[in-house]
Amino acid sequence: MIDAPDPPLGFDWLTIWMTVSAVVCIGAAALAHRNLARFRIAPEPSAGDEGWSVTVCIPARNEEANLEACVRSVLAAADADSRSRTVVMVYDDGSTDATGEILARLLAEDDRVVAARTTPLPIGWNGKQHACDAMGRQCDTDWMLFTDADVRFAPDALRRTRAALVRASDGGRDVALFSAFPRERTGTVGESLIVPLIHVVLLAYLPFGRMRSTLDPAASAACGQFILCRRDAWLQVGGHGSIRASMHDGVRLPRIFRRGGFPTDVFDGTDLAECRMYRGWGETWRGFTKNAYEGLGHPALLAFITVLHLGGHVAPWIVAALGITGFLTLTTVGWAMLATAIAAQLVLRARLAARFRQSWIGAALHPIGQAMLTVIQWWSLVLHLTGRRSWRGRTA
């Protein structure tokens, strides 16, 4: 019997590739580790908390399955925040289901619920941005919290959000847009592959230190499910009308605020609100393809992210499989770098899954999720270029 030769020790192109992959994955994990310490949950209000006036703005288009639960959760949070004046404003955006009937019942039950005046969707506007802009201009409170009908608020959500805002504004940094990232619930494998990547992108790609030390529009983020705005600043930057054609308020709105000279920030809302964005793979695909490219904004950046995702995160898994089955020969260093890249990915995903109560299935299938996200981003570009991006039956 002839012994198999030991793997070579030197460097070749595959070893160099796996070394670069390891650097990419370690870098992402290291930045996420640093950001996690800065991505804090909301504290309890201080003894001197005087409350505020806030309008919770809910755009609703065919939301019969969600609207009542969302509104009631906000009202419960308002009940727990007795020092404040809270209004719940709903914009019924041309619903054809029972949304209108549900809203009418809520209006009759509680005078804190108001219906926004509605107008037909103008040409060149996205439906959500038009609804949010209308609500922002009709309300009379100092603050506005833009949310979605599929979000559910914890009873302490409003008062602790205010406490988090006070903390974020310490040191003279007057935060005018403040966004929480709720707990993202998933119910299927398809959802679990893609939805948790929201936190991966936020924490592994955005340097929080730069976000908080500069007004660079590129160093900003928000989650469209929970965006708190100071109304006077919102009006000064043009409201949602400044992003009227956008399908990605989470990216576009904080950039507009920063260009207007207003600081923005984010915090961990896992224990304050939760949301199941989509149900099943079909909704997840349609939901992300409508705005995945817009979140990047340029083909060159999309190409770079593709190389980073496929070459840095997905390739080590493929090379490992080919190496184990004998289709590729790796050096000892190559194997070590490959194992390091995979370990860094799994450690990162495990930390995020534990911290944000995410699906462990998505964490274990990280390379598949990254590959699918890349496909989604490129298909989103195709839809963008052909004018076929749509949501809830409208292309705007």
Q: What is the pLDDT of residues 321-330, one digit of tens each?
A: 999 999 999 9
**DSSP letter string, 171-218:** GG---SEEEEEEEE---SHHHHHHTTHHHHHHHHH--HHHHHH---TT
> What residue segments make up the domains of the chain, in order of their start?
13-35+296-386, 53-188+206-277
Give mean pLDDT, residues 11-15.
84
pLDDT band at 394 (very low <50, low <70, confident <90, very high): low
- Give the pLDDT of residue 396: 53
Taking residue 30's Cβ as centre, other Cβ atoms within 10 Å add up to 13
pLDDT band at 395 (very low <50, low <70, confident <90, very high): low
Find tokens 């793997």 and name the residue. 7
- Give the pLDDT of residue 297: 82
CATH topology of domain 53-188+206-277: Spore Coat Polysaccharide Biosynthesis Protein SpsA; Chain A (3.90.550)
- Give the pLDDT of residue 392: 73
Contact between residue 24 and residue 306 where contact means Cβ atoms under 8 Å apart: no
Of the candidates 36, 31, 46, 34, the one whose C-alpha atom is nearest the C-alpha of residue 165 is: 46
What proportion of the chain, given as a percentage, has pLDDT over 70?
Answer: 96
- Give the pLDDT of residue 170: 84
User: Which phi and psi angles does 285 have, rounded to 5°?
Assistant: -60, -50
User: Which phi and psi angles does 272 have, rounded to 5°?
Assistant: -105, -25
Question: Is pLDDT of 1 > 50?
Answer: no
pLDDT in tens, 99-153: 999 999 999 999 999 999 999 999 999 999 999 999 999 999 999 999 999 999 9
Query: Which of 9-18, 59-68, 295-304 shows the lowest mean pLDDT across its residues?
Result: 9-18
pLDDT in tens, 160-202: 999 999 999 987 789 999 999 999 999 999 999 999 999 999 9
- Give the pLDDT of residue 11: 53
- Give the pLDDT of residue 47: 81
